[in-house]
Homo-oligomer: A and B are copies of this chain.
Amino acid sequence: MTVIMGAQELSEFLGREFPQVAGDFAIEEVGDRRIRVRLVVGERHLRPGGTVSGPSIFALADVAIYLALLAMIGPEALAVTTNCAIDFMRKPAANTDLIAECRLLKLGRVLAIGDVLIYSDGAPEPVARASLTYSIPPK
């Protein structure tokens, strides 16, 4: 399938539609139903000990699949998450960015499903795994 929004366009879209959080995320690579997104870790993402919080990991998973979807269908600000299953598997490295490796498994007319592995930058084993469903509004 053809990618219709690249990293630059996705990044601009995020900055325009979600200005509160756009600075947290850097889009590293976009491909056919695949994306890699970085959480640029700052003070507000951390728990005592310097570990990235669960809600920040969730936010990364959510935005990564949203962007993977937009890359394929274009700017649909109204696509909404309907479901997420997430496993927290390892403690993230302290004060380290997270990397989400995401793929779309289904891109239907009304539902899209993707999964994502999340790594502390540079670490070989994932800290979390998530799968999410997005509902796509009718045109």
Contact = CB atoms under 8 A, between A and B. Distances in A.
Contacts of A115: 115, 129
Interface in A10-27: 17-21
Contacts of A110: 110, 135
A13 to B, nearest CB: 13
A19 to B, nearest CB: 8
Nearest to A45: B20
A81 B88 CA distance: 7
Contacts of A133: 82-83, 87, 133
Question: Which range holds the interface residue count of chain A?
Answer: 35 or more
Contact of A83 (B62, B81, B88): B88
B83 A84 contact: no
Given A59-B54, A82-B111, A129-B131, A17 B48 contact: yes
21 contacts: A17-B48, A18-B48, A20-B47, A54-B58, A55-B58, A55-B59, A55-B62, A58-B84, A81-B88, A82-B89, A83-B83, A83-B85, A83-B86, A84-B84, A84-B88, A85-B85, A89-B113, A105-B126, A106-B125, A111-B135, A131-B131
